[in-house]
Structure 1
Amino acid sequence: MQPDIEIYVLSCPTTTIVRWISSVFTVIKQHQPSSLCTKVTASTGTHEFEITILEQAAGKRFTSVWFDSDQTPWENDCACAQEAFQFLQCEVRCNAQSWDESTEEDPDLWWRINDHEEGPFIWN
């Protein structure tokens, strides 16, 4: 089980991302601490947690969506990315494996989903 989930969405408005989040979870609260950051408090029914949506997190075109919980409906980042792509219909990227400082995994190996392909690639 991953301690959290994070995906990166290409050129997708925050309002659309929040609409997707609302289709998966109960949104309890939403606020905007800065012009590029939106915080959402969401619930799975028994568990409340924070979701941070940060625009321009990876260059000017990618928005980070970070679920600060180990109790999401997804087994890993890739499963979340696949569901996000289905709803958002824009490119979604995520780390190809669960990140851990102590492993030998390549931190530049990512998973990309778009209209043309789904699979691993090096994002550096």
Structure 2
Amino acid sequence: MQTDIEIYVLSCPTANIIAWLEETFTLISQSSPSNLCTKAVIEVDNHKIEVTILEQAAGKRFTSIWFNSDKTPWEDDITCAKQAFRALNCEVRCNFQGWEEEGNQDPDQWWRINSHGEGPFIWN
């Protein structure tokens, strides 16, 4: 199980991300420490999970969604990315493998899901 989950969404308004979290989980709280950062706490199976939504995390157009917990409902980043793509209908990218199993993995190797399909690619 991964210690946390992080995905990147392309040109997706934070309001849409919050709406997805509200539809999927119990949204306990939400705050905006800065113009580009929104923090939320969600509840999943009686576990509180901190979520950080950071706009312009990778270039101007990508927003990071970071679930800071090993109690998420997803096995890995890719499983989360698939659900986010279905819900948000925008391109989603995530690390190809969990950082823990890095080994010989190319650090630029990512997984991309968009309207054309999904698969590994080099993000640099």
- Please confirm whether the aligned pair reaches a TM-score higher than 0.5, indicating the same fold: yes
Give the 3-state SS of the residue equivalent to 1:34 in structure 2.
Answer: coil
CA distance in 1, matches of 2:99, 2:5: 10
Q: Which runs of 5+ in 1 are unaligned?
A: none
Q: Which runs of 5+ in 2 are unaligned?
A: none
Give the 3-state SS of the residue equivalent to 1:100 in structure 2.
Answer: helix
TM (normalized to structure 1)? Answer: 0.96
1:29 aligns to 2:29 (yes or no): yes
Q: Could you tell me which residue of structure 2 aligns to residue 61 of structure 1?
A: 61
CA-atom RMSD, angstroms?
1.1
Structure 1 residues 55 and 122 mapped into 2: Cα distance closer, same or farther (>3 Å)? same
List structure 1 runs of 4+ shifted beyond 2 angstroms.
none
Once the two structures are superposed, residues 52-77 of structure 1 have per-residue CA deviations (whole angstroms, 9 ceiling, x without a partner) of: 00000000000000000111111000
Percentage of pairs with the same residue: 64
Q: Partner letter of residue 64 of structure 2? A: S
CA contact (8 A) 1:81 1:92 kept: yes
Give the 3-state SS of the residue equivalent to 2:67 in structure 1.
Answer: strand
Give 1:44-123 correspondences, 5 Å limit.
44-100=44-100, 103-123=103-123
Matched residue count: 124
Measure how far apart 1:106 and its partner are: 1.3
Structure 1 residues 101 and 118 mapped into 2: Cα distance closer, same or farther (>3 Å)? closer
Structure 1 residues 82 and 2 mapped into 2: Cα distance closer, same or farther (>3 Å)? same
Q: Partner letter of residue 35 of structure 1? A: N
Measure how far apart 1:22 and its partner are: 1.2
TM (normalized to structure 2)? Answer: 0.96
Once the two structures are superposed, residues 97-124 of structure 1 have per-residue CA deviations (whole angstroms, 9 ceiling, x without a partner) of: 0013862211110000000120000001
